[in-house]
Structure 1
């Protein structure tokens, strides 16, 4: 690909309101650095589900706010996760200065995977269901306009989780929460954190702890667990502090293991996860390592990351220090509530 030009048909310049049906493509357009200042090359990637319907107004608000700040964004044209991944990768390969992402953790993962190891700065504008990445990096508070402004702030280095093939931003999850996530994803109602609560109750009757082999910086541990979470940041499941002391700048991964617990005990521990008080449960163990291997000996092999399918076990997860630059990020661990 020619590094001096943006790939044709990837970008649409916003010539009309979102959803108006009058978006006019400007093919192969790239502004020089001298025309509009240091952030003239800004691409906007929105969750495909947010490009139409009621959410389209929020996308328009994001675009209008960027224009107010003197930025004319290129809107990445994507109607599916696959297209979003391709468009984000093309934008980064073309040398776009900043990739602003509007949506939840799934679209953030796509953008982070594309931007990892590049000079492209990632701007996160929370607009999804869970928003755990934005919450962990202090980017969820304020009005939508405030969040857009922070997406144009100075960049901060942030770690990612690396599998050898792709990146995750918040955490990788095996066991009961992965099953809950699958069920929650299939639910159309309600929205927000209460969806995960209902999905948890629905999955609980079939919960069975499994056997895992963990390798933590070369040290092997075999255990029975209902939950295994390998975290780069503190939150999962829509604001639950599963690893409240996880620091996305320390080059390490926090591992939370909920051991061989019964259904009632698991439910009680999950009720405490929102504040981080689950760490006091006698069957909860915490580890920290730069590299974590997980093998399912007698357990469900499914793996989720950032609320999305992420392959299956076995897998090797490695902290990737400073893999992305995130605009306006606050990286101090939140700790317990």
Structure 2
């Protein structure tokens, strides 16, 4: 499952509010409906990557800001990272903070993997995003890392270089280079930040060993709970992804394949604030991107497991607010 914490998602909405955009209007525009039944959850709510991409893309287009993720990343606060943010703040130095990031990053967003290495006096922190991550999500993540470290160490601190797998025009690269105060490399193999290894030993002004230890215990408990809660949804998502098509794909067959009762599957998925219907819909939307425009709509409907094209058309209008034909003619799929 590719998800992010509710507080990381709502921090985007908070920033948009400061720019004059109403949160409810924005959520309505992207057809967001993931805040239902929050009270029934055992863990903090998680938001899907598709909804995150939709929010960032909508903001980029509405504000006409091609580097919206970059602007958003500059506004990051410890609270936006939840307990991980405070854990990093209470670390004694950058090396300790990076260690916590590598272990607990998925508490904030399970949409990529952080890696770290050192090479002859140069330290490298790399982020391997999920293939579905938008360029704005990548921009926010990379910018936020640098912004947080500047807040904790020195506002003038600069990396040696920043690498992006994405590409931007020269004027936008100049904007990035001016803020990061280092060379920007585009079309790279990895999204990564390089900096002198000597930075690792720089002490944090907010160092607090006692609080750091307590927060590590809390983070470990949350991570354990998160892994446990995610397991069944991940299994079902993987089962759906492995099927050649989604015909005759239903809850009864899936529960049987997992050697579980239907009621048990429903109960555990409800605790994770999802359902089989939601997981199936996510898989249908994921496959749709490769089908639409390639096959006749009737074939697309069958491949996605709909009984007929009219059922597919209704689902499509619910997802994107228009018919498949209109979408093919005037738009492109972004979620």
Structure 2 length normalisation: TM-score? 0.23
Q: Which has the higher helix share?
A: 2
- Quick check: which one's strand share is greater? 1
